[in-house]
Structure formats: structure tokens, C-alpha cells
Structure 1
Amino acid sequence: MALTRVSLSCSARLLPSPLLQSLLRPFSSSTSPLRSSRRRSSPIAAAFSQASQSPHAVREGQVTEAPMPSSTRPWKPTCLYYTQGKCTMMNDAMHLEKFSHNLMMDLPVNALAADKVKPQKLDYLLILDLEGKVEILEFPVVMIDAQSMGFIDSFHRFVRPTVMNEQRITEYIEGKYGKFGVDRVWNDTAIPFKEVLQEFEDWIGNHNLWKKEQGGSLKSAAFVTCGNWDLKTKVPEQCKVSNIKLPTYFMEWINLKDIYLNFYSRRATGMTTMMRQLQMPTVGSHHLGIDDSKNIARVVQRMLADGAMMQITAKRQSATGDVKFLFKDRIM
């Protein structure tokens, strides 16, 4: 499948040119890596497990242990204003020193590891990890190439509830995001779920993964979630609250827990368990959606390098119908 490459390189992104800023899409941050060359290699586990074990302070909250992609480049938290398309400090040296504006830095690919990837039926994987129990508060997607494991693009939006009163929203956000120090950026940038989906459809359309006029499922791509809750339960619930029809591209997905169980023959109740079993340190703040999506993407990269096949594990029969689970051995 031909992918529309509309992203700018990291070095270009850091230039303060007004023209450059006008070219940046308002809903993504990305780079466009070339597919890694295929070479015979030795075992690759070290490419994903060796990392710095030093904790870093992030924003005003806490952060878990983070890897350093290179020995000379320390890990930095992602600028969440940038992921919302609203960073106004791209020419501020201190801001650029403190925050990352390139999600690819957390998802490096070792060419020797990429050599181990088996041919996949899907071309692209959209790692999704929603946040919000009452209503969806955060909609982050990390897109990677299923064949090369390379980071392609990201979509990230904070979501403003539609039926909660302002006092409840304030309590909700302070309780959820205050501990990470990102409640201000949430309040500055959150938009209703219906608008988020409109922007997301533009994003997948720009990547030739789906066409609104044709409907149907994604083209040679699939969502990857850590569990069935995100697409089996939460998105349909939110669509009802937002009074919109469940989009057709949400009808099937890959539950990474099921792939993990069938590939490694061991159970993992969640992302942190997977990373502990694979001896991989986590990046960023757990339960901050964009950071969790990056961590899940890193697990996917590792599994691809180990030889796993990413396959659809669940399909919804209709917008209001039951879900069919395709794996006999699965996490209940």
C-alpha cells in the first residue's frame, strides 16, 4: 500500500520559520523513516531492553524510568502543546531543551532487530490507549510500520466531556491529570469527542488508510489496544453520549494481550506486566495516554522483532451487535 508521506523531519521542525509553522498539520507530530534494510543478524533482545535506569522529573508530576535512545541524548518528556498543534515556543531554546517535539525519539528501531520481522498481512499498526472512565479524556494514536517497526506518525487529542458540568469536569481533570502536571494543557486544548473524530478521520484519510465516502474498515491497517475495553466498550459508550454513530473503522482491532499470550505462551494482565516480563523499562508517565501508547508501541516493536504476527483478534458484527473473538486462547 502506498502511504502518503506528509510529515516533516525532526530537524526541519525545530526551525522557527513562520512558513514552516504554517505547513505543520494541526493534529499530528511525526517523522517519515525509511524502511530499514534487511540484514542477517545476531539475537536482538538487547536492542529493546538495554536502557538507562535513571528516573527523570517530568512536567510537575512523576515519571517512570525512561530509556535513553542514545548514550549522548537524554530522554525528555513530550511537549503536549505540540501534540495538540498549539506549541508557541518552537523558537525558545530553553523550552526545546526541556521538552521533546519528536515522538520518534522514544521509538527507535535497530536495523538488526528489524531483520527478524516476519512478513505481516497488515502494513500499519495504530496503537490506541484511551484515558477516561466516565467520558473519554484523551485520544492518543501512535502509528508504526508493521514491516519495518518504524515510527510513522502520531495523533493526539485531549477530549472535553459533553454531559458533565464544569465543576465535575474540573474535579475530574485535577484528579486525573493534576498529578502529571498537564491539567493546564488539557484545559487549554481539549475539544469535544465529535470534533476529535472529525480530525482523526482527516488524519487517517491523509495517510490513505480510510475514505469517509467509502466507509468500511481501515485499509491494510488495524488498531492495536492493550485489552478489549477501548474499542469493545468505551468508544461505543462515548459515541452514544456524544450522539454519533459508531464509525465503521472501529469494527475490528488487535488485542495485544491475546497476541502476547499466544506468542509467548504466558499471560500478561497489562502493559506494565508485559514490559516487566520482557525486561523493558517504561517511558514517561503511566496512565498519561500518549506515554502509554508509546510504551505499548515499544512492546509491539519488540514482539515483531521476536517474530510475532499481528492479527485481528476481535470483530464487531455491527454497530450495535456483539463482538466475535477470533482467538481460542485469549485473556478474558
Structure 2
Amino acid sequence: MVSLSSSARLLPFPLLQSFIRPFSSSATLLRGYSRRSSPIAAAFSQASQSSHAVREGQVMEAPRPSSRRPWKPTCLYYTQGKCAMMKDAMHLEKFSHNLMVDLPVNASATDKVKPQKLDYLLILDLEGKVEILEFPVVMIDAQSMEFIDSFHRFVRPTAMSEHRIREYIEGKYGKFGVDRVWHDTAIHFKEVLQEFEDWIGNHNLWKKEQGGSLNNAAFVTCGNWDLKTKVPEQCKVSKIKLPTYFMEWINLKDIYLNFYCRRATGMMTMMRELQLPIVGSHHLGIDDSKNIARVVQHMLADGAMMQITAKRQSATGDVKFLFKDRIR
């Protein structure tokens, strides 16, 4: 975890009255990046009880009838149970450090969940087309549907110049106002995987010395691109071997098609058809992972079975798709 100053100040933003933008006292955190006037937090609404879109990307508040507390955007300095800004009272007031509030479970819905072969589901939604920029994972219990934990890291490209990185990040995260936190916290993909392996190891989902696939758990992605294409590509760029736990996954689009007998082009289609309001900002990885997790919760409550849909034969081999009816 990087070391950051706890000082902060308020900045204006067109969609909000104020946001916190922390300053780093360490020159190494800047990595050649000059400070600008954009806030670190995404443009989320301090929403009222009625869910409503506040900008492009449909930032909304999740319905929580039992709570009148205003919705808060997820803190993006927060990862693996730690946040460098926890001593800053204003920061704590503005941002949420508990993803569970966006993934509530209705106790009566668990009665409808069918027995699952897997214990845990790891919802993954990568961001970054040239190289991976964000690696977010939301872990839920496959039977109770409850949120268990999350892993989130911004990823620093390996084979790009600092100038190109600044352009890349401005184009991707500048519109959300989180480019500052990206520059403060991003680490290389190899380091991200090392931290992720510690995380899944602590949850007893995988042991490095044993290798192999995950233990009673599986990745859930909205499409095959994340694990079929992007992770192998990034491993080549980062000059590392494809980890064994990336050899199989669940494509939620295929599960959705076979369970509801209708095709969904992506997360937004699923949420619209299931009448689920969007939480957070579309195309911010951690928020997309939460929203996909909410789709998974809804499908489990409807009686869907989460099962592996794709397997890679080897680190360099072809992918075998296990469902006859699938999204191509």
C-alpha cells in the first residue's frame, strides 16, 4: 500500500458541490504526473431515496428501503481492507469503505437459491483496451448470495511511455475524475497478481505451491474477453506466465441466455431487463463488478445455476466452450 498524506481540500465539480482531492507528499507517487484541477472521486450523486440518473453512465443509488443514509461512492484508495485516507474525517464522510451496502441480500430470496457446485463467485470486470488499467474482483457466497470481500487495484501499463500513459489515463478516467487516484496507487500487473494471489490464498481459494484452478470458486465475467483474450495478452506484455487459476471461468452472458432463454449483449441489458438500477459509474471497473454481482444475486434468487462455461486447454491452447447455446 502506498503512503499518502491525510490532508485534503474541497474542489468544485459541475455535478456536485464539492469533492475531496487528497495531496500526496511523496514525489514518487506522482511518477512524473503534474497536478491538475480534477477531483479524485467519480461524479456520483449524493442521492435521495429515489434512484435517478445524474449524468451519462447513469449513476444511481441502489434501493435500500430500510436505510435513509445517503448513498456514497466507493473509495478508490481502498483495497484489501486498507485505505491510506482513513485518518481523514472528511474523506470518510464522503466515501464508502463497505461494498456490502451496494450488495444487499433479501433473506427470503435465499430460500429460492438452488444448491450450487461452487462455494464462491469472483466477479471480475477488467478495464483497459491497450493494457489492463483496472483489476477489480467482488467475491460473493454462491449459496447465501452475500458479499464476502473485494480486491481492487489500478494497473500501471508495462510497455507504454509516461506521456502515453498520461494520455491514456486522461481519456479513460479523466471523465470520472479519478485520474488522480489512479496515478497515486497504480502498480504493474505482475505486482497486482502477486497481491491478488495473497488475497485468494488468505481466503483459502488457491495455494501457490499447489497451482491448479481455484478451490470451490470461479471467476464470473460478462463475456469471454476478460479471461479469454485480455489477461493472456497482458501476461505476454508483462512477460509472465499465465496463472493456472485463469484457465476456466463463467461467462454470465451464456448463463443468462440458457436460463432466461433470451440474449443479453452486456451488463446494461441484463440490468434493464431485470429492472435493477445502476449503482455507481458505468465503465469504472469496481462499479461494473458490483453491478454484475447484483445481476448474479438476482439470477441466483431466480434459481439459476452458476457453472463453468469455458475452459482453456493449456496456457497457450485453445478455449473449449461448454455450452451449446452461447453468446459468440
- Normalising to structure 2: TM-score of the pair? 0.82
Quote how far apart the aligned CAs of 1:62 are: 6.7
Partner of residue 322 from structure 1, selected from 318, 323, 326: 318
**What corresponds to 2:172 in structure 1?**
176
Paired position in structure 2 for 1:212: 208
Q: Partners in 2 of 1:283 and 1:217 — Cα distance?
A: 31
CA RMSD, 1 decimal: 1.5
Is 1:79 aligned to residue 75 of structure 2?
A: yes
Say whether residues 1:67 and 2:62 are aligned partners: yes
Amino acid at match of 2:209: E
Deviation by residue 1:69-96 (Cα, 9 ceiling, x = unmatched): 3441221100101237663332433222
Aligned amino acid, residue 52 of structure 1: S
- 1:236-275 correspondence runs (5 A): 236-275=232-271
Aligned length: 279
Instruction: Pick the aligned partner of 1:102 from 94, 98, 101.
Output: 98
Determine the C-alpha separation between the residues in 2 that align with 1:310 and 1:85.
27
CA contact (8 A) 1:137 1:160 kept: yes
Secondary structure of 1:210's aligned partner: coil
Distance between the aligned counterparts of 1:62 and 1:298, measured in 2? 17
* TM-score for the superposition, normalised by structure 1: 0.81
Cα distance change on mapping 1:94 and 1:68 into 2, 3 Å: farther
The C-alpha deviation readout for 1:201-229, integer Å capped at 9, x for no partner, is: 00000000000010000000000000000
Query: Unpaired segments of 5 or more residues in structure 1?
Result: 1-50
Q: Give distance in 2, aligned partners of 1:155 and 1:52.
A: 29
Of 48, 51, 54, 1:53 maps to: 51
Aligned to 2:219: 223
Relative distance call for 1:88 and 1:248 in structure 2 (3 A) is closer
Deviations along 1:217-260, one digit per CA (max 9) or x if unpaired, are 00000000000000000000000000000000000000000000
In structure 2, the gaps of 5 or more residues are 1-48
Matches within 5 A, 1:289-308: 289-308=285-304
Tell me, yes or no, if the aligned pair for 1:56 and 1:66 is still in contact at 8 Å: no
The structure-2 alpha-carbon separation of the partners of 1:85 and 1:159, relative to structure 1 and needing over 3 Å to count, comes to farther
**Contact (CA 8 Å) 2:57, 2:282: kept in 1 or not?**
no
- Choose from 131, 138, 141 the match for 1:135: 131
Deviation at 1:98, TM superposition (A): 1.2
Q: Is 1:62–1:179's contact at 8 Å kept on the other side of the alignment?
A: no
Report if the CA contact (8 A) 1:120-1:310 is conserved. Answer: yes
C-alpha displacement at 1:317, in angstroms? 0.3
Q: In the alignment, what sits opposite 2:281?
A: 285
- Tell me the amino acid that sits aligned with residue 194 of structure 1: K
Give 3-state SS (helix, strand or coil) of 2:136's partner.
Answer: strand
Q: Cα deviations across residues 35-81 of structure 1 (Å, max 9, x unaligned)?
A: xxxxxxxxxxxxxxxx8323458xxx975222143441221100101
- 2:112 maps to 116
Secondary structure of the 1:159 match is strand
Instruction: Say which SS state the counterpart of residue 112 (structure 2) adopts.
Output: coil
Alignment check: 8 A CA contact 1:66 1:282 kept? yes
Query: SS in structure 2 opposite 1:80?
Result: coil
1:19 maps to none
**1: CA distance between counterparts of 2:149 and 2:262?**
31
Distance 1:158 1:83 in 2: 10
In 1, distance between residues paired with 2:296 and 2:218?
13
Residues 1:124 and 1:244: Cα distance change in structure 2 (over 3 Å):
same
What residue identity is the alignment partner of 2:90?
Answer: M
The CA distance in 2 between the partners of 1:141 and 1:172, in whole Å, is 22
The structure richer in strand per residue is 2
> Residues 165 and 291 of structure 1: is their aligned pair in 2 closer, same or farther, counting only changes over 3 Å?
same
